[in-house]
Amino acid sequence: MTDTQAIVFDLYGTLYDVHSVAQQCDASFPGQGMRISEMWRQKQLEYTWLRSLMGRYVSFEQATHDALVYTCRHLNFELDEATCATLCDAYLNLSPYPEVPATLQRLNNLGLPLAILSNGSVFSIDSVVKNSGLQTHFANLLSVEPVVVFKPDPRVYTLACEALGLSSHQILFVSSNSWDAAGARHFGFKVCWVNRRNNAFDELGATPHVIVSGLDELPALIGTAQV
Amino acid sequence: MTDTQAIVFDLYGTLYDVHSVAQQCDASFPGQGMRISEMWRQKQLEYTWLRSLMGRYVSFEQATHDALVYTCRHLNFELDEATCATLCDAYLNLSPYPEVPATLQRLNNLGLPLAILSNGSVFSIDSVVKNSGLQTHFANLLSVEPVVVFKPDPRVYTLACEALGLSSHQILFVSSNSWDAAGARHFGFKVCWVNRRNNAFDELGATPHVIVSGLDELPALIGTAQV
């Protein structure tokens, strides 16, 4: 398993902290920021899965908007249009995890092409990456838009093979979302799960090849028996 | 919209209370019954959606088992095999909601065929319905097994049309799960959402035709402008 030719990262929750929106949520709903952010993220994921299954794709921005609307209705919080727009915009300005910039540079120095494969729209991915100044590190920013379905549908993972001209086993896929890591493993990628919070891995019939507690552990693993 | 020719019910959470397993959970993990039951149910649903998207169907029993294993690992509860088997068996002995038996009888008296369309396997559905003594009320017990995918994939809803020989608009589909009600509405059923807990309806681009707070409200609605 030492023939890794490229590294493909998930974006939301892996390179970027989705809960960096909690601060803006807290400004609009004092004391409720993390509660809103957590339910919002959970519903956002559910809506991507459910709309994929129903064959009713909408953009990630729309699913994110809908999930926020539901969350505020569920919690009985009044959400006016301006606040809704402000909070949804926060998803375009997520913060990378602290170790990410230096890690990407170290991986660039190893000479492997890096890519992002994300549920986000082309616009969302571009915005998040450019707003954080990390765009020079990536050879490809890949959105689910061309296949109008979300992860973990295998058509999404195929996009990375096509864009990079590689077989699935030549790609190391890196995700913090264990359901995404499981889907990627079923697809055929080599898989690294980033387990920052010492969570249990989802029971979906597939396990990652390697587990790290932060992305800074990744460069030393490249070229080892694991990856 | 008064041409309803049959009523098709969701099973888990609609006719039967999934949290009737909380008592058995509490016997094994004192004081934690409802906490386990709620996370178990959430994960069970997630696993049906994720496995459907990954094209990695397993039976509902297997997904239920896997969700319990994850839940106990996540909560750091030791789950031995005997306890696991006991708790999974509890899903075959769910209690119907209190109003269900009398409501089914009243609907039978109206002469409309009644059916169940469920994520459960043939074995699970048969077990739950027979163990509660309600099997005589139903013309059809329909499992997702033939299409090896879970709700809200439209192939599941198609099973009801095929089994009953009816068009989607001739069927009233009844579910407490708002994502299921939304999927059924996108499919083309007439839809009744059973909202027992005054929840918000999921933001999935579809709304139910009618909302009730318990199934006992349903017989009076049959033949009205709503259903």
At A201-221, the pLDDT tens digits run 999 999 999 999 999 999 999
What are the C-alpha distances in Å from A91 to residues A24, A86, A145, A216, B59? 10, 9, 17, 24, 36
Determine how many CB atoms are found less than 10 A away from the CB of residue A84.
Answer: 15
Binning pLDDT at 50, 70 and 90, where does residue B2 land? low
Report the pLDDT averaged over residues B154-169.
Answer: 98
Q: In this structure, which CATH number among 1.10.150.240, 2.40.480.10, 3.50.50.60, 1.10.3210.50 belongs to the domain A18-90?
A: 1.10.150.240
- CA–CA min distance A101, chain B (Å): 30
φ, ψ at B57 (rounded to 5°): -60, 135
The confidence score (pLDDT) of residue B134 equals 98
Q: Is B24 helix (H, G, I), strand (E, B) or coil?
A: helix
Tens of pLDDT along A72-113?
999 999 999 999 999 999 999 999 999 999 999 999 999 999
Instruction: Determine the Cα–Cα distance for residues B101 and B88; give it in Å rounded to an integer.
Output: 24
Count of CA atoms in the C-beta half-sphere (13 A) of B205: 17
**Chain A nearest-CA residue for B206:** A56
Question: Residues B170-203: pLDDT tens digits?
Answer: 999 999 999 999 999 999 999 999 999 999 999 9
What percent of chain A lies above the pLDDT cut of 70?
Answer: 99
Burial bucket for residue B116 (CB in 10 Å: 0-12, 13-18, 19+) = buried
CA dist., res. B59 & res. B57, Å (int)? 7
pLDDT above 90 for B124:
yes
Catalytic positions of A are: 10
Q: What does the pLDDT look like over B191-200, one tens digit per residue? A: 999 999 999 9
Please report the pLDDT score of residue B86 as a whole number: 96
Closest-approach residue (CA) in chain B for A77: B200
pLDDT of amino acid B227:
77
Query: What's the pLDDT tens digit per position in B37-80?
Result: 999 999 999 999 999 999 999 999 999 999 999 999 999 999 99
Q: Say yes or no for a CB contact (<8 Å) between A54 and B183.
A: yes
The answer to whether B103 and B219 have CB atoms below 8 angstroms apart is: yes
Q: What is the pLDDT of residues B125-139, one digit of tens each?
A: 999 999 999 999 999
C-alpha span between A136 and A153 (Å, rounded): 28
Q: State the sign of the Cα–Cα–Cα–Cα dihedral B175, B181, B185, B191.
A: positive
Look at residue B1 in the predicted model and tell me its pLDDT.
45
Share of chain A above pLDDT 90, in %: 96
H helical segments located in chain B: 22-28, 33-54, 60-74, 81-90, 100-109, 122-131, 154-164, 178-187, 218-221
Is B203's CB within 8 Å of A49's CB?
A: no
Helix (H, G, I), strand (E, B) or coil at A10: coil
Secondary element (H or E) of residue B11? none
What percent of chain B shows pLDDT beyond 90?
96
In the prediction, which pLDDT does A1 show? 45
pLDDT range class, residue A224, cuts 50, 70, 90: confident
Domain A6-16+94-221 adopts which CATH fold? Rossmann fold (3.40.50)
Question: CA-CA distance, B218 to B221, in Å (whole number)?
Answer: 5
Domain boundaries, chain A: 6-16+94-221, 18-90
A53 and B53 within 8 Å at the Cβ level: the answer is: yes
What's residue A227's pLDDT?
77
Residue A226 is predicted with a pLDDT of 72
Residues of B in contact with A202 (CB under 8 A): 43, 46-47, 50, 70
Cα gap A152→A163, rounded to integer Å: 18
How many C-beta atoms lie closer than 10 Å to residue A78's C-beta?
A: 8
Asked if the Cβ–Cβ distance from A153 to B199 is below 8 Å, we say: no
> Nearest Cβ partner of A203 from B53, B54, B69?
B69
Model ipTM?
0.96
